[in-house]
Structure 1
């Protein structure tokens, strides 16, 4: 390998290429997570609402057990993608850390749900909106940016409703914030 210094143009081209590769790594397959979590969370929200509303089971939150296999699938998929990535950049690491921060924030909220009178859904929508909005900005993908905004609007609506009704708003927010942008991102990936 040569130790030759790069010109300004060569350096700029190298940096631009690395940023482009990092964006490609983040974007390629990114729809998988939005679609997986969108469907799981939307089904769980609707399921929780229906089970509680019609008193089908004593523990309507049991439907959220769906998130456990989704978490495992996400981790396996992420590990596989990480191995396949040609270049691992600062943007790749930052993107995954943003979603890790969202996940930790959601876990904290769930742990203290009784302290917030079980109004967790409205707060979780705020965190989901943050992750989605930043993802959209990182990818420069407007549907994800708008998805983040849709999740924030759903959060505002949910804050003004009883906890049970928040599940319906949560489902609608996830549809607008994760699923629609997720399918548009999948189309853009092809």
Structure 2
């Protein structure tokens, strides 16, 4: 254990240099955990969202049946069972940065869920796909900056730009496909990059 971490455990005040070193160490630990866990969490939710979006798009386009909107529930149907399965795994020691990232996605996740439910019930008239893309893009940018994982930051920025494009797209096909593209940029591509890094790291061990 590093000297700075020992001081924290003993509640010994750190000077500025030691504090910066400790923060840097926490970020490195979080990056290693992200690589060990690879991009699976990002990929699960990313692919679930893209799959549901394409299913809704195909259903509405080829059947013109508004009940196809229920296919959006594919997202929690895929993501939540996996999330519950993950909770059964033995817990790891979490750094402050880990907790920050977790809090970011608790807030973003619940916000997205509540907004989606309100929109589904007709309580929100705003463009729901714009709001979801905007919130998830912000979450990815913040997470990427906190963990210093550039692909996540870049993907989030791309999603933010696409979210504003959604405000001006009136064609339903383009609207849904742009939404799917945003999740490819901010979830699927960074997730595969993480997996590739994890594979490379494991091969070097």
Per the alignment, residue 42 of structure 1 pairs with 50
Q: Does 1:32 align with 2:46?
A: no
**Residue 189 of structure 1, aligned match among 184, 187, 198:** 198
Which deviates further from its counterpart, 173-182 or 68-77? Answer: 68-77
Per the alignment, residue 203 of structure 2 pairs with none
Q: Does 1:22 align with 2:30?
A: yes
Deviation at 1:169, TM superposition (A): 0.9
**Residue 54 of structure 1, aligned match among 62, 74, 82:** 62
93 and 12 in structure 1: CA distance in 2 versus 1, 3 angstrom threshold: closer
Per the alignment, residue 96 of structure 2 pairs with 90
Which deviates further from its counterpart, 151-160 or 68-77? Answer: 68-77
- 2:35 and 2:197 in contact (8 A); partners too: no
Question: Structure 1: any 5+ residue segments left out of the alignment?
Answer: none
Q: Does 1:112 align with 2:118?
A: yes
TM-score (norm 1): 0.82
Deviation at 1:180, TM superposition (A): 1.1
C-alpha distance in structure 2 between counterparts of 1:140 and 1:132, whole Å? 11
C-alpha distance in structure 2 between counterparts of 1:157 and 1:147, whole Å? 15
C-alpha distance in structure 2 between counterparts of 1:111 and 1:90, whole Å? 32
Calculate the aligned-residue CA RMSD, in Å: 2.8
Per the alignment, residue 168 of structure 1 pairs with 177
Which deviates further from its counterpart, 113-122 or 90-99? Answer: 113-122
Report the number of matched residues: 183
**For each residue in 1:57-77, what CA deviation from the matched residue of structure 2 results, as whole angstroms up to 9, or x when unmatched?**
451122223222311202322
Per the alignment, residue 102 of structure 1 pairs with 108
**For each residue in 1:111-130, what CA deviation from the matched residue of structure 2 results, as whole angstroms up to 9, or x when unmatched?**
22123336211110001101
- 2:42 and 2:191 in contact (8 A); partners too: yes
C-alpha distance in structure 1 between counterparts of 2:179 and 2:19, whole Å? 44
Question: Structure 2: any 5+ residue segments left out of the alignment?
Answer: 1-5, 200-205
Secondary structure of 1:115 counterpart:
coil
